[in-house]
Structure 1
Amino acid sequence: MAPGSVKPSWRKPAGALGIIAWIFLWVILVASFSSWIGQLHVLAQLPIYIVTGVVWVLPLGGVLRWMETGRWRSA
């Protein structure tokens, strides 16, 4: 390894696999409620799908920070 080069970290591939697993689990969770949500009026479905489409991103901030720094929270 050349002087001054950075050693690759295992956190990035592990974090990427974790993110993919999280997305997969989130999709299964939302899809499991689809029959119930589908019975609602379209205007009632809209906020549910907007919220579920945005909320899955919230836990990823810590994971992305961990992938870059090795810490879950900012210092």
Structure 2
Amino acid sequence: MRETPTWRIPIGIIGLLIGLTVYGVVIARYAPDIIGGWPTWVQTIIYLVLGLIWLLPLKRFLIWMETGRWSPPESTD
């Protein structure tokens, strides 16, 4: 556990908010033009995937915010 505050957490939160905003704007701007004529069930699957895909890099990003490294710490079992 940390004893002192770190700059990575507020910067990480701001970066996450900016990144998600940019991602959301890009999806909202371009996805309807591309998949708008597709069947509704296909659009639903695409939007579900696009709504969850941003979670893929989140684990490493949160690890960096807490530890300053991009990979999980080595286990010392």
TM range (shorter): 0.7 to 0.9
Per the alignment, residue 25 of structure 2 pairs with 28
Unmatched 5+ stretches in structure 2: none
2:69 — aligned with what?
Answer: 71
Counterpart CA distance in 1 for 2:44 and 2:31 is 14
Q: Normalising by structure 1, report the TM-score.
A: 0.84
- TM-score if structure 2 supplies the norm length? 0.82
Tell me how far apart the structure 2 counterparts of residues 22 and 29 of structure 1 sit (CA, whole Å). 11
Tell me, which stretches of 5 or more residues in structure 1 are unaligned? none
Q: For residue 40 of structure 1, what is the aligned residue in structure 2?
A: 38
The root-mean-square deviation of aligned C-alpha atoms, in Å, is 1.4
Residue 28 of structure 1 deviates from its aligned partner by 1.5
Runs of 4+ that moved beyond 4 A: none
Q: Counterparts of 1:39 and 1:24 in 2: how far apart (Å)?
A: 25
1:34, distance to aligned residue in structure 2 (A): 1.5
User: How many equivalent residue pairs?
Assistant: 71
Identity of aligned residues (%): 37
What secondary structure sits across from 2:55 in the alignment? coil
Aligned position for 1:15: 12
